[in-house]
């Protein structure tokens, strides 16, 4: 399989002023595989430390942050002599070693020639519990489940994946039936690497669902193991409510769907725990479509999406038979899978918002702020019936220079809107490492 985030790791490696890199992401999105593959391609050797497995090193940072001492210990544990520029030092499950994150500051200040990457599945949660954080001394890369183009490549269709990135719409339209078939598969399989690998090798729907259920069970175990005991029941209730939240006509998150009579203050910590674990995405409404969008977000109105469309299908007990039933998979659960899919492609590049006009039925599924500081409205349609009253009104009210309708229709440039096929929504080249 291929992960295009490896291109960002290569940019990081070649920087003149490089800082240690922290890779964030939910459990089982492929962080460990990505870094090991990157090391195989670009370094003479890899010093791999998994702090959950190498318990002898968990107290390595309790004494002090002497880099020579730390390197000696890593060398002894991995049987690798760490050499500047030639060895990639990979500190995996870094949350299991107290003060390991703090040590990255000393690598940055005292040993910048060493290439250091850290990763941890529950890193966000651990850092929220008071770990001293090396502000300004590290870089970040968020890793998500495989997006659609990575999935297409994993299915052995690398040429089709490359075609999607050319934006040669005439040629792309010629292969629309093939892209639509692959998109159906992606809705069911999703982007969790283990599920994708299994499907690419065996084309076994049942095996895919078993893998997805195992992943969901592992997340439940994480909730029980790592969350504060007093909020575990609320985390579980909230997590289980997500398919119902997304299958509503109005996908705004409603606490009453979690439990009748529930209030925001009862579930705020549970919601934050799921966010920190990388298991959900939170998309805020904006009070007004003005720049910058972040300044207008309505903290009380938001949608919650699951980290992966395939896992959402597993949580909803979506049947594999839906895949072969025409295009019905795109409209299942009132189009919830389609909106989830689009969000999953956008999240690589943007911080999406949505807009629901007060005292009106007008709603825009996603608002983006692009590199040119333009507000870009997107309306998502799960069918070929693409009447877009809300989008047209939004464009008229705000004199929008760009507007997109994402649907099952082919690419079409109209005077006020551009229709983009569902299978062509992606942002693969836009991973970004942040200081």
Q: Per residue of the chain (435 residues), what is the pLDDT tens digit?
A: 899 999 999 999 999 999 999 999 999 999 999 999 999 999 999 999 999 999 999 999 999 999 999 999 999 999 999 999 999 999 999 999 888 999 999 999 999 999 999 999 888 777 666 666 788 999 999 999 999 999 999 999 999 999 998 889 999 999 999 999 999 999 999 999 999 999 999 999 999 999 999 999 999 999 999 999 999 999 999 999 999 999 998 899 999 999 999 999 999 999 999 999 999 999 999 999 999 999 999 999 999 999 999 999 999 999 988 876 777 788 777 789 999 999 999 998 889 999 998 878 889 999 999 888 899 999 999 877 767 789 999 999 999 999 999 999 999 999 999 999 999 998 433 333 444
* Angle, in degrees to the nearest 10, between helices 31-42 and 6-13: 50
- What is the spatial distance between Cα 333 and Cα 338, in angstroms, rounded to a whole number? 9
Q: Positive or negative CA dihedral for 363, 367, 373, 374? A: negative
**CATH code of the domain covering residue 91:** 3.40.50.300
Q: Mark whether 259 and 406 lie in a shared domain.
A: yes
Backbone angles phi, psi at 48, to 5 degrees: -100, 120
Q: Mark whether 197 and 296 lie in a shared domain.
A: yes
Check: CB of residue 312 under 8 Å from CB of residue 246: yes
- Write down the number of H helices and E strands in the chain: 18, 13
Q: Which token pair is 10?
A: 């290569």
Among residues 376, 206, 159, which one has the least CA distance to residue 286?
A: 376
Q: Mark whether 218 and 302 lie in a shared domain.
A: yes
Q: Mark whether 287 and 167 lie in a shared domain.
A: yes
Q: Mark whether 197 and 266 lie in a shared domain.
A: yes
Q: What is the pTM of this model?
A: 0.94
Q: Mark whether 251 and 297 lie in a shared domain.
A: yes
Q: Which domain holds residue 405?
A: 150-430
Domain stop point among 77, 111, 142 = 142
Check: CB of residue 49 under 8 Å from CB of residue 93: no
């Amino acid at each position: 399989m291929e992960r295009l985030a490896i291109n960002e790791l290569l940019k990081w490696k070649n920087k003149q002023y490089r800082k240690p890199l922290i890779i964030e992401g939910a459990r089982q999105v492929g962080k460990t595989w990505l870094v090991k593959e990157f090391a195989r391609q670009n370094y003479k050797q890899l010093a791999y430390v998994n702090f959950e497995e190498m318990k002898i090193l968990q107290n390595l940072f309790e004494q002090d942050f002497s880099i020579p001492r730390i390197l000696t210990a890593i060398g002894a544990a991995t049987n690798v002599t760490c050499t500047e520029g030639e060895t990639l030092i990979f500190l995996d499950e870094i949350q299991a070693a107290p003060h390991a994150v703090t040590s990255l500051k000393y690598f940055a200040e005292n040993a910048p020639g060493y290439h250091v990457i850290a990763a941890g599945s529950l890193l966000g949660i651990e850092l929220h519990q008071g770990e001293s954080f090396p502000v300004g001394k590290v870089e970040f890369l968020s890793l998500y489940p495989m997006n659609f183009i990575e999935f297409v490549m994993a299915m052995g269709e690398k040429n089709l994946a490359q075609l999607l990135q050319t934006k040669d719409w005439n040629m792309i339209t010629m292969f629309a039936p093939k892209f639509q078939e692959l998109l159906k598969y992606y809705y069911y399989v999703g982007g969790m690497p283990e599920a994708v690998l299994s499907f690419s090798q065996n084309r076994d729907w049942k095996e895919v669902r078993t893998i997805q259920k195992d992943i969901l069970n592992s997340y439940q175990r994480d909730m029980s193991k790592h969350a504060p005991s007093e909020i575990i029941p609320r985390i579980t209730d909230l997590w289980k409510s997500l398919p119902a939240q997304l299958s509503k006509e109005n996908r705004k998150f409603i606490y009453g769907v979690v439990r009748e009579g529930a209030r925001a203050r009862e579930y705020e910590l549970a919601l934050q725990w799921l966010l920190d674990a990388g298991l959900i995405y939170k998309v805020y409404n904006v009070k007004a479509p003005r720049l910058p969008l972040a300044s207008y977000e309505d903290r009380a109105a938001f949608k919650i999406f699951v980290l992966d469309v395939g896992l959402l299908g597993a949580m909803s007990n979506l049947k594999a038979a839906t895949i072969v039933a025409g295009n019905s998979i795109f409209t299942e659960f009132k189009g919830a899978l389609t909106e989830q899919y689009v969000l999953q492609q956008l999240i690589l590049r943007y911080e999406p918002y949505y807009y629901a006009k007060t005292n009106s039925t007008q709603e825009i599924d996603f608002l983006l702020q692009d590199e040119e500081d333009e507000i870009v409205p997107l309306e998502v349609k799960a069918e070929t019936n693409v009447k877009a009253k809300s989008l047209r009104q939004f464009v008229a009210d705000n004199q929008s220079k760009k507007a997109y309708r994402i649907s099952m229709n082919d690419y079409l440039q109209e005077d006020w809107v551009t229709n983009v096929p569902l299978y062509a929504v992606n942002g693969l080249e836009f991973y970004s490492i942040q200081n």
